[in-house]
Amino acid sequence: MEALDTKRKALKINLDERIYGSFAEIGAGQEVARNFFTAGAASGTIAKTMSAYDMAFSNAIYGKEEGGRYVSRSRVLKMLEHEYPLLEERLVEKKYENKTFFAFADTVTTLNYNKDNDPHGWLGIQFQLIPRGPSNTILFHVRLLDTDSGLQQQVLGALGVNLIYAAYYYSGNYQEMIESLVDNLQVHSVEIDLIQVEGPDFPQINNRLLNLYLIAKGYSHSVVFTPDGYIHQAKDYLYKKDIILFRIKANHTINPIFEKEDEIVRYIQQVEGISHHNLDTLFEITLDDTKDKSGHEADLMSLVEKIDELTLNGKVVFISQYARHHNLVGHISRFKPRMVRILISARKLAYIFNASNYEDHYLNELLNYISHLFNKEVRLYVFSEKSKENELLSLDTIPVGPESKPLFDFLVQNNYLKELLISKELQ
């Protein structure tokens, strides 16, 4: 892969006689178009730039957003769907016959003056790979992590250039395409937590695989796949939900007890007094469980097959990069769910409370683990499972050493740990 900085990427595009299109940017200034203007030879690439900041103008051009969210997937798609046809409609003279058109769009909110908002945005491109050919679309969602709005604007500008460059120069290799999106950016400046690629020039593209690759490369931390084939940002999907989480291994068969999902859910609903209207049951798989954590395609494809199997059976699948429960809970808590209930085996809980699994400071490490695992939203439901010695372990029979027994009893007595009381023949 070529190692070009943002300015050189923009210049290479400007000098490429094939590539020609428009820019529509809302929310953080015309940061992407600015890179092409300052690189030089911008007339070779730019047909139009615009920025409909005022909502009245934006609505008049692209229509209203029924959900009221203007930094959204819906908005960036409406922008592309409006801008791209204008290129084919208006640029019909002979001098354009060898051009491959593109429309770039972004809708972004950067850090406000009080620094109390959530800076994020959607970026997309609709583009041709051959003159007068069909169009393709790439769009992705970013979280801007710098604590300065000026730095976030610079990041946005680089992301836009990277996207256009990737669309034209890396379209034949999805790994290079994704990796190039963060070229010339600091590791902790941006998170790309969803990507979608569509079009006739990408007949074999698998968007589930692309989103798993984002997690494997550390650009994202989680994603949600639903039975309708849709891919969701975890934050949007889990926000203010009541969640029951079934943790399963990527390369293992599902624990037989989870086959009684309906019975388990009904039991927890009765205990918690929650309605099914706000309840979501998720099957969570940790990407860290896979054989090759670097994002090897064959390994990720086996996980895609597992996801396909689960979603075809009506399951919602949550993929994360967190093997340990307390790290997973910390991640989910960022999304402000109303309630989180996690299924855990008595054998796994016994492992957590086993002093031999920690280094020198057992109690300190255990306290740190427990303090990050439990908060006001989180409870664990413990189901019985046989130990390595073939003994049936339950919440009542887990071996706990004298040092940690008071902590264990506290968690049980205050309902942070609850026994899952379902059909005994399953256990």
Q: How much is the mean pLDDT over the chain?
A: 91
Residue 109 pLDDT level (bands cut at 50, 70, 90): very high
Instruction: Give the 3-state secondary structure of residue 8.
Output: helix
pLDDT at 385: 87
Instruction: Give the 3-state secondary structure of residue 7.
Output: helix
**Does the structure show a pLDDT above 80 at 241?**
yes
Predicted confidence (pLDDT) per residue in 374-415, tens digit: 988 999 999 998 878 888 899 999 999 888 899 999 999 999
pLDDT at 236: 93
CB 381 within 8 A of CB 268: yes
**In the chain, ranges of CATH 3.90.950.20 domains:** 6-205
**Does the structure show a pLDDT above 90 at 161?**
yes
- Number of residues assigned to the chain: 427
**Does the structure show a pLDDT above 90 at 275?**
no
Give 386's strand partners: 392
Residue carrying the six token digits 């009080």: 114
Average confidence (pLDDT) over 315-319: 97
CB 192 within 8 A of CB 158: no
pLDDT at 289: 55
Residue 317 pLDDT level (bands cut at 50, 70, 90): very high
Element (H, E) at 397: none
Instruction: Give the 3-state secondary structure of residue 327.
Output: helix
pLDDT at 69: 87
Average confidence (pLDDT) over 62-90: 94
Average confidence (pLDDT) over 3-31: 94
Residue 426 pLDDT level (bands cut at 50, 70, 90): very low
**Token duo for residue 175:** 């790994």
pLDDT at 49: 97
Residue 427 pLDDT level (bands cut at 50, 70, 90): very low
pLDDT at 168: 98
Say which CATH class 6-205 falls into: alpha beta
CATH, range 235-426: 3.40.50
**Does the structure show a pLDDT above 60 at 293?**
no
Residue carrying the six token digits 């730095």: 151
Predicted confidence (pLDDT) per residue in 123-157, tens digit: 999 999 999 999 999 999 999 999 999 999 999 99
The pTM for the full model equals: 0.92
| Of 28-32, 63-67, 132-136, 186-190, highest mean pLDDT | 132-136
Looking at the chain, the whole-number percentage of residues with pLDDT higher than 70 is 95
Average confidence (pLDDT) over 340-367: 86
Predicted confidence (pLDDT) per residue in 247-273, tens digit: 988 776 677 788 889 999 999 999 998
The distance from CA 359 to its chain's CA centroid, rounded to whole angstroms, is 33
Q: Name which of 36-45, 130-139, 250-259, 310-319 the model is least confident about.
A: 250-259
CB 385 within 8 A of CB 345: yes
Instruction: Give the 3-state secondary structure of residue 120.
Output: strand
Residue 221 pLDDT level (bands cut at 50, 70, 90): very high
